[in-house]
């Protein structure tokens, strides 16, 4: 049983810290309860999002303006997802600094609660909105979590902790830094959206770089959202590789893992530099492999993010070649959902970008405009957010769900994610009818995937709490 002592956490053979208390006076707050409590809360919140938009037809057009309320509501989900990923990463890298567990665990609670509740009421960009300021409080809690994880990983490095010299550790550290930078860009973009060209130095900076304040705000918003999504995913996969094989000396597949993680590290650094430059300057990200007079082509940032995603896929594939001492099926489920994410985001995205004469790049009059609209939100909400979250939850399942149940949870996740991916491919490339076969297949897959997450919550959290309660209960007189 893991125990908490002094300023470090003793994990013995179990890095999950499932029952090590975050706060001595609150025995119910453990990494297990925070992780699964956050997952359960954002699950309920996701069900509520159906009142805002049907999950399988969000965009009328790929070029449509963002719906402010919809966007801010979904921010509540994303904040909770990052909190879950950070906790899983800390488990995988055996973070020993006790205060990091307290700060990240407490930050996850505050960030998720404030960001979700605030998102319900943050309906317009008003600087006096109580909903907006409630969400901002949650965003600051996210900053705190990210900063603590960066510091915790840095402490592990200087302490020469086990595993701190592994490539997976480097990718996780770079990804956490990238997420923190993306969060800061989001704050600046939000300020400009709410308050406009104020204070004076904002106007001066915009003039200095040669663009309007409104353009600066738009550039920062785009860079923030793109960078946060791919950095979040890279962090999850780095944790997965460390969990499976990186702590084993001379484990099979080491060369493959090293190649994949090296590509992922270069990708994380590359897209971070690109998005910072594109956010703070008027520099336009170039398009590569142009054809049809420049209509078709892949944006350079997509190539770099693809490098990070494919590199991560190669790394997790190499990790599966190792002699896995952990439960195999949750690990396979984690790798499988990441493979589907790469297929949906990178492979499908490249195909669409190279055929924009058909898909239209946001032109509602293009012959493939409806498919482009579906892909716009499907690759983001499913490929960049939901599937990486499932990857993280499958790693948590391997840590925290008992051996009798985790295989069923993992297999359900594999089947559900596969059906969801198939539905997405049908929806985008075969029939984009609003309630057509793609819609139906995707819905079935989503429900199965949701049942897998619910199973992980129950067997990893609720059932465990009931068992512990029975053990702690005094014997009947």
410: which 2 tokens?
Answer: 């993992």
Location of structure tokens 């990463």: 89
Over 50: is that where the pLDDT of 13 sits?
no
Q: How far apart are CA 467 and CA 473, in angstroms?
A: 10
Residue 23 has pLDDT above 60, yes or no: no
Q: Each residue of 166-196: pLDDT tens digit?
A: 899 999 999 999 999 999 999 999 999 888 8
CB atoms within 10 A of CB 394: 33
Q: Which two tokens stand for residue 83?
A: 């909190």
**Which structure tokens are listed for 375?**
């892909």
Q: Check residue 326 and give its pLDDT.
A: 60
Nearest to 327 by CA among 385, 397, 392: 397
Averaged pLDDT score across all residues of the chain: 85
Number of alpha carbons in the 13 Å side-chain half-sphere of residue 62: 25
Q: What is the CA radius of gyration of the chain?
A: 22
The whole-number pLDDT of residue 1 equals 27
Q: Which of 17-26, 38-47, 77-86 is predicted with the least confidence, judged by mean pLDDT? A: 17-26
Mean pLDDT to the nearest integer, 242-246: 75
* Backbone φ and ψ of 322, nearest 5°: -70, 165
| Higher pLDDT pick, 244 / 110 | 110
Please state the rounded mean pLDDT for residues 133-149: 95
pLDDT, tens digit, for every residue of 249-292?
566 677 888 999 999 999 999 999 999 999 999 999 999 998 88
Q: What is the pLDDT of residue 328?
A: 82
Token pair for residue 58? 């969000």
pLDDT at 126: 78
Which DSSP category does 97 fall into?
B
**Mind listing the pLDDT tens digit for each residue in 66-102?**
777 778 888 888 999 999 999 999 998 989 888 899 9
pLDDT at position 361: 82
Cα separation, 141 vs 146, whole angstroms = 9
Q: What token pair was written down for 20?
A: 């090590």
DSSP string, 202-261: HHHHHHHHT--HHHHHHHHHHHHHHHHHHHHHHHHHHHHHIIIIITSTT-TTHHHHHHHH
Does residue 6 carry a pLDDT above 50? no
Q: Please report the pLDDT score of residue 59 as a whole number.
A: 60
DSSP string, 277-322: HHHHS-PPPPEEEEEGGGTEEEEHHHHHHHHHHHHHHHHHHHHHTS
């Amino acid at each position: 049983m893991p125990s908490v002592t002094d300023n470090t956490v003793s994990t013995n053979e179990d890095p999950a810290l499932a029952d090590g208390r975050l706060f001595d006076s609150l025995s119910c707050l453990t990494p297990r309860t925070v992780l699964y409590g956050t997952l359960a809360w954002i699950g309920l919140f996701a069900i509520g999002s159906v009142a805002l938009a049907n999950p399988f037809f969000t965009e009328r057009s790929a070029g449509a303006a963002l719906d402010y309320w919809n966007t801010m509501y979904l921010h509540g989900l994303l904040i909770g997802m990052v909190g879950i990923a950070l906790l899983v990463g800390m488990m995988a890298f055996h973070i020993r600094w006790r205060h990091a567990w307290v700060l990240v665990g407490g930050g996850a609670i505050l960030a998720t609660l404030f960001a979700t509740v605030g998102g319900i009421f943050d309906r317009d960009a008003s600087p006096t909105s109580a909903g907006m300021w409630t969400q901002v409080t949650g965003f600051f809690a996210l900053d705190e979590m990210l900063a603590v994880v960066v510091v915790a990983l840095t402490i592990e490095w200087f302490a020469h902790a086990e595993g701190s010299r592994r490539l997976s550790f480097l990718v996780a550290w770079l990804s956490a830094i990238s997420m923190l930078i993306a969060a800061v860009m989001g704050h600046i973009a939000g300020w400009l959206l709410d308050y406009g060209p104020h204070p004076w130095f904002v106007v001066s900076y915009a003039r200095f770089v040669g663009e309007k304040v409104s353009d600066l705000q738009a550039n920062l918003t785009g860079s923030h959202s793109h960078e946060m999504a791919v950095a979040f995913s890279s962090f999850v996969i780095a944790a997965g590789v460390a969990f499976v094989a990186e702590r084993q000396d001379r484990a099979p597949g080491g060369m493959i893992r090293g190649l994949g993680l090296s590509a992922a590290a270069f990708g994380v650094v590359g897209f971070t530099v690109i998005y910072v430059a594109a956010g703070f300057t008027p520099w336009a990200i170039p398009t590569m492999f142009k054809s049809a007079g420049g209509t078709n082509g892949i944006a350079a940032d997509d190539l770099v993010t693809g490098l990070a995603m494919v590199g991560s896929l190669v790394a997790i594939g190499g990790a599966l070649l190792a002699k896995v001492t952990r439960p195999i099926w949750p690990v396979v489920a984690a790798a499988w959902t990441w493979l589907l994410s790469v297929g949906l985001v990178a492979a499908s995205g490249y195909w669409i970008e190279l055929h924009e004469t058909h898909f239209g790049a946001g032109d509602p009059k293009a012959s493939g405009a409806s498919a482009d609209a579906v892909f716009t939100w499907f690759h983001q909400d499913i490929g960049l957010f939901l599937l990486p979250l499932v990857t993280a939850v499958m790693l948590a399942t391997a840590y925290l769900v008992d051996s009798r149940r985790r295989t069923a949870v993992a297999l359900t996740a594999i089947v559900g994610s596969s059906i969801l991916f198939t539905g997405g491919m049908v929806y985008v490339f075969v029939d984009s009818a609003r309630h057509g076969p793609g819609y139906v297949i995707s819905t079935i897959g989503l429900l199965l995937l949701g049942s897998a997450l619910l199973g992980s919550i129950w067997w990893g959290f609720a059932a465990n709490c009931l068992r512990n309660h029975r053990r702690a209960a005094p014997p009947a007189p």
